[in-house]
């Protein structure tokens, strides 16, 4: 997948006064962490939640809760 954290950093540097939102596939803990550890304002998870990609109950609220624990 390449050096995603570096790409995020470079995109944010090119548009310093614009919010950057990182988009998927963010369907694994390590991908979310590498996306949130840089300068981007936020990220989208999208289909990963609906596909129950995270190791918790397939209930949507539980999936969202799990993602929240990753970024805290």
Per-domain residue ranges for the chain? 4-71
Q: How high does pLDDT run on average in the chain?
A: 92
- Residue 60, pLDDT > 90, answer yes
* Burial letters 9-48, b for 16+ CB under 10 A, else e: beebeeeeeeebebeeebeeeebbebbbebebeebebeeb
* Residue 8 confidence (pLDDT): 92
- Residue 21, pLDDT > 90, answer yes
Q: What is the pTM of this model?
A: 0.81
Confidence of residue 1 (pLDDT cuts 50, 70, 90): low
């Amino acid at each position: 997948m390449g050096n995603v954290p570096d790409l995020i950093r470079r995109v944010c540097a090119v548009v310093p006064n614009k919010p950057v939102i990182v988009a998927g596939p963010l369907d694994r803990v390590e991908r979310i962490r590498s996306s949130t550890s840089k300068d981007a304002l936020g990220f989208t998870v999208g289909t990963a939640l609906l596909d129950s990609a995270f190791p918790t109950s397939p209930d949507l609220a539980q999936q969202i809760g799990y993602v929240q624990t990753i970024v805290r």
